[in-house]
Structure 1
Amino acid sequence: MQELDKETVSAQLAAVEDVKSFLDDLFFHAPVGFAICDPEGRTVTANQEFLRLFGSIPPPEYSILKDEQLENQGFKAMILRSFAGETITTPVFWFDPRDVEHVSVSEGRRVAVSMTTFPLRNRQGQIEYVAATYRDHTEEMLAMQRIEAERDRFRALFASILDGILLMDQSGVMVEGNPAAAQILGLDVADIVTHDLMGLVEAPASLKRDWERFLAQGQLCAETRIQRPDGSVREIEYQFISQFAPGLFLAMLRDVTEQKQLQQEREKLAEQLRQSQKLESIGQLAGGVAHDFNNLLTVINGFSELLLADTIPELSAAEAIQQIYQAGQHAAALTTQLLAFGRKSILQPRQHQLNETVLKLEKMLRRLLREDIEIELRLAEGLNSVLIDPGQFEQVMMNLMLNARDALPDGGLVLIETANILLDQAYDQTHAEIKAGSYVLLTISDNGVGMDETTRQRIFEPFFTSKSEGQGTGLGLSTVHGIVRQSGGHIFVYSELGHGTSFKLYFPSLHGEQRELAATSAVTVLPEGQETVLLVEDVKEVRAFARLVLESCGYHVLEAASGPEAMALFQGQMAAVSLLITDVIMPKMSGTRLAGALQTLNPGLKVLYVSGYTDDAVLRYDILAQGIPFLAKPFTPSQLACKVRDVLDTS
């Protein structure tokens, strides 16, 4: 029995030794620094992590309770409080064991640790030792320092950027802003979060729509006006860029008020310069135009005087009248050319097929050119229609052919081509003035003398001509450019000195079948009618001419010189009047006001507007925009008679 007890005791002692070995290994390899201190403040033992952190174990003669340096840092008090039974944990602190006398400089390093001390009791509950654990926070603290440094650099950059930067939440509320944003908005930086950006802009609904579109689609840039708290108004450009952080979005602001004002000043100065140059150029034009008009007036006045005096020795009255008529037509054509150059023509565009006009003009164009100049046509089949004034397009063709003729002093070839063409985005990017899409292309090329780059760049300038003095007004190609641009088209010229010139005209394509075009040939027999027409025209001579034409066609004509006079005249014969013919711009009452008043009295009354104004006055009255019948001055008897009949016959 006694022998069994010895075996049991031996086994139990071995088990205790095993446990002690396990605990020693756990202590030595623990991931935290571990040291045990006796009541005298001497370090009894320490583990491997302690050695890594602090470089060495203090020697037996060293006491932490006698180290004045550590006492000043509060470590002595911690040890004593733990010997009194407390468990104490410190915040993270930086500690460099090289500052402690017992650690050699080569062994230590500066570390960030947190320290916990607690008592170790014996079986009787008495405190024999104090344990201290040290958790390494060095990498964590260094990372935090790097983050803080990055944050400081970001804030410095944030504050120094000249553009305004805002951080906004999901609902578009300003969360933070830099000084530049505060200055743009007229706020203090601290006040940004107390204001709503939607409340500062003049068009909050538009800004809100932009914000919602940004959230749905991504980056967005636009402009708006804001009213600062001090009442001043600024033009700003804003750009919603991207998500800055979860729930936060980045917006950039730029004050473009001065930039816009400067741009307006530049445009104003440029316009003044253009006007100055134009006025200067008018002097060059005046001689040529006055010369042409004086020649025409000589013919008109001369033959008129001979007719009035009845002293025409060789010509019949009909021949004299024909000369007067032709001179008037030439004057009207010159006026049309001047208006087209200034883009002031009152165009009446229709769906038109360019091939038909080219074929119709072919014989006339061949007569226009000399016999030593050949014309070749390459017209595309199935050419799409375009929206253009046919008469103005004929003017374009004539001017370009005359230009080709002058470029071929020794004869040569003029090539006329048409084609359907689709311009892609790449072409759009290299030709800023033209948009990608479907076009009808007209190309007129010659193999003549060509032009140098300086001349090519100025070819469409008003009054610019490369001809000798007195041989041209400089309006030909300017007129072409004006008509093409006013028709929504584009024109480009390609040329090389000695190798010819090519003009390319792009007109927006109309898909679908071409509508039947009205005949434009002269009418020998005027259409007649018996309806009653109210003619309102403030110019007596024009009114007399129109009345004479209408009466010769069988119409009963009531005439008035003004709107109020026409109102009074209409009151007495309201039911009889079928058509109102009125000038658009008149003193006292405009033609549109008069028509509106009369149609209120008689809703079935038809209206034909007439005007000779050359600016945008007619367009401001929405005459052409509404598709209302319109006749431009000057007009011939056949044009007036046909237009009146068309209006009356239209349901």
Structure 2
Amino acid sequence: MESRYDMLFIGEAGDASWLGAALGSAKAAVALEVMETRQIECEGVETRVAAAPPDVIVLGPTLPSPLSMARHLRDLSPRSQIVFVLPPERVERFRASLPFVSNLGAAWTVSNDATPDTLRSVLQEAASTSRQRANRVALYDRINLQLASRASTTESQARRSQLALSERYLATLLNQSPDAFLAVDRQGRLVAWNEAARQLFPIHSDDALGTDAVALFPEGCRDEINQLIDMALQGRMVRREVPLRMDAGEAIIHGDISVASVHDNNGEIISVSISARDITERRRVEEELRQLNETLEQRVAQAIAERVQAEDALRQAQKMEAIGQLSGGIAHDFNNMLSVVLGSLDLLSRRIGPAPQARRYVEAAMEGARRAAELTQRLLAFARQQSLKPEPLDANSLLAGMSEMLRRSLGADVRLETVFSGGLWRTCVDRNQLESAILNLAINARDAMPDGGRLTIETQNGFLDDRYAAAHPEVVPGQYVLIAVTDTGEGMPPEVMAKVFDPFFTTKEVGRGTGLGLSQVYGFVKQTGGHVKIYSEVGQGTTVKIYLPRYFSRGDEPIDAPAPAVVPLGEQHEVILVVEDEPAVRQFSVEALVELGYDVLEAHSATAALRLLDAHPEIVLLFTDVVMPDVNGRKLADEAKRRRPELKILFTTGYTRNAIVHNGVLDPGVELIGKPFTIDDLAAKIRKVLDAP
């Protein structure tokens, strides 16, 4: 080297030694300064370069983000030449990317395993270029001073400054843009990106330069990205929505990308630009809006149905209240008249003497008056105006004491079974009225089984929650003692069930009933502060559930409703088939399961259910009603198990569990959830069945 050159090496000390050894005899003409990587932060490379710009800046192979540092050093010293020392495997792709790197200009690349002669040649060429550029700039400056006026020189400098400022503005806007930008050469290699692209794509360092740009996208859409790049290289601008990030086969980030060609001054296509915008949130909002629109009609219909149901319940309550007031008024007046009749007959029987025929007439009249008085008492019970004498009692003990009387009343053709719950709470009611209510229900059950059958009386502790109370306005949420009476009789259709508590309504033949039995039960339970619910299927039987408020003696503390635990949700792709012949119940079951995160299919009959089972092997659980027309839930489950032995089964019914099992409808040990059930109850039961081995 004829002239003495200033050279600054930035990197590790070992690489600097290799560089010094490679320079060899040329050291005398080179002023080599070494700044190790660990010194960059504390001493400040910017201060060093700005104070005395070197002819050549050599960046070692271990520097992080060498391109970023090179651009920054170029801004500080435009005449200094940049030489990148790189591992052999990075040289070619790095060299191909350099023309697309903004604010860098010409630069040299050399492998760190190059021969000393090659390295000296590259460094000498870079140093000569730097010195020639410096001399040329100085010469041009002198010529400009001699030939150009000060005004024209100022104008030229202003234009250059304006151009440089515009470039900086453009670079700043590009880096501050929320959209990601990628530059790709004609061979599909990544040559540049902005900060948003670094956040959106897996770009972690400058090592990404020269790599396949398509590899930044999920594997499933890379063919489509390649096609878009090919279309852009043909001069077309294209736009698509594609997944930008995937997890377990599902898109977690959606993108709207635009691909366009970049032309040089001659109009030739030299590269492709890809812009990408994260539209995940927009897609989520659009999907929610679409689902809302799709279910709008269903939600309106559901709201109308709920309103109609509430109005029907209100009308029924108002009707029962009005009938009760009327019945109570009539009963009170009738009692007054009966008092006169019975009193007069009693006096007459004392005065007629031993005349047998006259006494027979009086006794017959008194018997009729007493029966009329009993009817009056039933009317008062329905009107909730009878005099009650509530006392704390154990329902198990009361029913055990009634067993013999009930068996005699039922006759030999009806088998009585009792299932008493251990640890049953006490309730505070009128003992005689409760016995009368149980006897009325038993006699009604007997009359519904003309050919004989089975009557099951069951007790258990119960809790009616806020959701149940919301659907039954007259119910107060809380703890109750439940007494359920189930028969295997003829059952009732819905239109009959709607009237069973009306006074004087009966389905029995003339002369076999007054129509006041269930009315008396209804009135007594309501007057006690309880709730009565009836469930029936034609040809299958009826269950009447009496809920009596729990009694808290002195020193007892009411137990609050259990704190809501974490509701177990469905796991991904768990599909449940709901089979229910009652549309309203089926709709609730489907909506509850969807709310819990399950995929749900529904069927209104066993035939439709079997078709769905054959068509959807992904179904993991069959949730079916026990009592259905044509083919019941038990037979459906047997056939489903024959076809799919691994299928889980969960039954539901309005009957009590013991009544269903004891009557031979289900086998012991099957999974069953009773109606009505809450969403929390259903969630726990479904999870228990699915998680069972």
Task: Compute the TM-score of the two structures, normalised by the length of structure 1.
Answer: 0.35
Rg (Cα) greater in structure: 1
| Higher relative helix content | 2
